[in-house]
Amino acid sequence: MIKDFERFAPKTLKEALVLLAKYGDDCKVICGGQSLLILMRQGLVSPKYIVDIKGISELSYIKDGKDGVKIGATTTHRAIEKSPVIKKKYPVLAEMETRLASIQTRNWGTIGGNVCHGDPAGDPVPVLMALNATLTVAGAKGTRSMPVDKFCLDYFEVDLRDGELLTEITIPAPLPRTGTVYTKFNVIESDLATVSVAASVTLGAGDGVCQDVRIALGAVAPTAIRARKAEKVLKGKKITDALLKEAGEVAATETEPISDIYASEEYRLELVKVLVPRMTKEALARAKKA
């Protein structure tokens, strides 16, 4: 049973920040509530106050510009999935969304809520890492921005300090000759990931050398992580199958997976070794076509 709480429904970001500053640790932010309500029903979270930001329309937008795309925190998953500009310029984001939970959940749930939930098996964060996204949070003292990997601190814990709210996700425009892909391994298509992998490869002009690469993994550590050592294996080189295999093995050493009902620790390690080379190779193929 959900415990009683008092709910505030601010209509502007300013009002929300005042409420968050006032109620501090006693309050939780809800938007679509597709993650939080489940925790509340299980009694894992019982906030005294709820600041409901679903009605803050100024935070619901997809703005595309020369430098990249800006997505407001209360934008629904479904709006991202169906956005023509996202489908055209950041197809991996739309592809990720189609595999996130169900249509009903995507219609009401928001990208900001998912990111702030801090579930290491969540779909958006690895993709945002591969796309080199930046998050902007606002608080009583002003705003600050950070790369998405700095935002994820621990299991269900993100870098939101007293009274702060995630407001915007910024994704830089992809460099030429860049390909980005995402997949998750799971038993039922719309389930959370057993292991997820996002990879982005940028090739140099004409030489086919891997100029830049980002590999992000989900559900194999307390947060989604960048496999930076695996990236180093590939960066500055011409990617071969042997190098990809090595990158997969190195990536596995960067993880600390747990065993649960979906998979054992050992099985997750094997998945990393298989999926990292496979997805990086796919990203490479996309980069060649881009």
Partner 1 sequence: MKKELKLKVNGQPYELFVKPKTLLVEVLRDLVGLTGTKRGCSSSSCGACTVMLNGMSVKSCSVLALQANGAEVVTVEGLAKGNELSPLQRAFLDHGSYQCGFCTPGMLMSTTALLTENPKPTKLEIKEGIDGNICRCTGYNSIVRAVTAVVKGEYKEAK
Residue 145's DSSP bridge partners are: 136
Residue 234 within binding range of partner 1, rule CB under 8 A:
no
C-beta of 30: minimal distance to partner 1 in Å?
Answer: 7
DSSP reduced 3-state for 119: coil
Binding mask 173-212 for partner 1 (x = CB under 8 A): ----------------xx----------------------
Residue 102 within binding range of partner 1, rule CB under 8 A:
yes
Residue 57 within binding range of partner 1, rule CB under 8 A:
no
Residues 276, 278, 280, 282, CA torsion sign: negative
Chain centre distance of CA 49 = 27
Residue 113 within binding range of partner 1, rule CB under 8 A:
no
Residue 4 within binding range of partner 1, rule CB under 8 A:
yes
Residue 44 within binding range of partner 1, rule CB under 8 A:
no
Closest-CA residue to 149 (of 217, 90, 89, 63): 217
Q: How far apart are CA 133 and CA 126, in angstroms?
A: 10
Residue 282's DSSP bridge partners are: none
Q: How far apart are CA 225 and CA 183, in angstroms?
A: 15
- CA distances to 15, 78, 98, 113, 261 from 105, rounded to whole Å, are 27, 9, 11, 12, 23
C-beta of 208: minimal distance to partner 1 in Å?
Answer: 35
Residue 5 within binding range of partner 1, rule CB under 8 A:
yes
| Complex with partner 1: residue 42 or 259, whichever CB lies closer | 42
Q: Which residues bind partner 1 (CB under 8 A)?
A: 2-7, 9, 30, 33-34, 37-38, 40-41, 50, 52, 54-55, 78, 98, 101-105, 107-108, 189-190
